[in-house]
Amino acid sequence: MKRLLIVLSFLVSSTFAFSQGGGNMLDFDGLDDYINCGVIDLSGDQLTMSAWFRVDNFQPNFPYISTIAGIEGGGTALLRVGDAGIPMDEMQFVLQIGGSQTRLDGGQSLLTGLWYNVTATYDGAMMRLYINGKEDVNKAQTGSIQAVDSFFISLSYGGRYIDGMMDEIAVFDTALKATTIQDWMHKNIDNNHPDFPHLVGFWKFDEVSGATASDASSNGYDGTLENADTSTIWINSTVPFASAMIQDMTNVRAVWEAQTSNSSTVFSINAAAITGDDAIVFGHDNGALTYDTVDVPNGIDRRLKRYWSVEPTSAISADLFFDLISLDVSEIASFSLLVDTDTTFIDAGVTNGTLISNQMIILGHNFKNAYYTLGAVNGTPPSSINDMTNSKVELFSNYPNPFSGTTYINYNVFQGTNVSVKIYNIYGQEVETLVEKFHTSGHYKLEWSGTNDHGLYLKSGIYYLRMFTDNTVLSRQMIMIR
């Protein structure tokens, strides 16, 4: 049986101060603009539809549907916002299976004027919906998809159009993994994509005029713009998207107004004040998390071999963090941030960091287009680092991380001791105590749903999980996305 995955990449935002890597995009009027990509067979037992989009106005009239893309007619495989049974600002993934439509409704309200990446997958057993790379909702479902008809962008049954912007729509014939969704949502699909051989259609919207939206795959599903003013519908893309500088990097992530915190392995950015079209895209070279003693600036003894390429859209001030828990911290007295326009780091700018619970932190850093890494000065480690190497308990990273609902915390106690597990915000303020009692040796598991001690939900951002015992303090960084 055919295995099919659709990835529709759409973004929702305002115009960046200077271009990211997204090229151009289309601005749909919500009245009658749409694209006809011709008949595509999406039948099979697997499917993925992913989209970057920005809604300017949700549809106010019954049935309150803003169509992103898909098929509705000869079967159904459709990604849209709103429906008669849900609010006009919630996502919905619709498939025809076994002769009837089955719907997966989103679990969160979207806002106008913000870019979102939405990905819907079906693997023959589960339907899943991801928002900005993180799973939002899922439900069990089996059976084969029936969907063979014209594939429309911004149109479904009854003239249900979208008022907003879209970019980077792709279709695959296999189901993307969650890690692939996260690693490629900010990058152009090329032959390095793990599922590139399965690419069915790819509409990049990089044309500057005309009535054709070219299919960049080899299958020729070029789309025709209908009812559109082709002199105004093509505009510069404002998606948080990697340029050529970052395209070949690993673990590419971004922060923008809809997602203000993100992490690329041990390097994290929290841009709580980011608004409008501003964004920071970043990813690493997959270098080892060990040290190099050559190519370091004066006053620095060694630096991480791994570096990050960072691309802000403008002069953005945000907080940055390096998680030290997975690094060799023995014989290191202090850490610094190194920033350079090339990867030698000999002439790097050096900013001293603050050590707080196994994190190197710099608040209010002014980001620029450059390469970033961690520098170190040799010497006697401070007490906060010594605590990391003498622990008689083991604290694992929470999972999932980042998270939007509940996250789980596992830890081991090797001998009886008093244990306190607390949550702190980035300012060092305690927000909740998860446990505080004597533990015998064994494995333990906690969960946290992003609330404080009063049961109130906290806002999105970076938080710190800290474990205190009789002789140890351990810490992990958590990213919560509402």
The pLDDT tens digits for 54-90 are 999 999 999 999 999 999 999 999 999 999 999 999 9
> What local confidence, expressed as pLDDT, does residue 20 receive?
54
290, amino acid identity:
T
Contact 146, 97 (CB under 8 A): yes
Same domain, 252 and 230: no
Distance (Å, whole) CA 404 – CA 180: 19
Same domain, 337 and 251: yes
pTM: 0.80
Which residue positions in the chain have pLDDT lower than 70?
1-22, 357, 383-391
Same domain, 332 and 469: no
> What local confidence, expressed as pLDDT, does residue 1 receive?
35
**Strands of 216-331, DSSP E:** 223-226, 234-236, 250-256, 261-264, 267-270, 279-284, 291-292, 302-304, 308-312, 316-323
Number of domains observed in the structure of the chain: 3
Same domain, 364 and 426: no
Distance (Å, whole) CA 69 – CA 51: 9
- Residue 194 has which token pair? 């793990």
Same domain, 35 and 167: yes
Same domain, 21 and 103: yes
Choose one of 331, 355, 385: the last residue of a domain.
Answer: 385
Same domain, 64 and 147: yes
Choose one of 180, 204, 236: the last residue of a domain.
Answer: 236
Same domain, 212 and 357: no
Same domain, 230 and 274: no
CA angle centred on 191, ends 220 and 237, rounded to 5° = 70
CATH code for the domain of 426: 2.60.40.1930
Same domain, 396 and 366: no
Beta-strand pair 291-292/332-340: unpaired
**Full domain range(s) for residue 338:** 244-385
Distance (Å, whole) CA 146 – CA 71: 10
Same domain, 56 and 86: yes
Same domain, 136 and 252: no
Residue with the two structure tokens 């969650």: 178
Choose one of 216, 236, 256: the last residue of a domain.
Answer: 236
CATH code for the domain of 137: 2.60.120.200
> What local confidence, expressed as pLDDT, does residue 6 receive?
37
> What local confidence, expressed as pLDDT, does residue 21 receive?
56
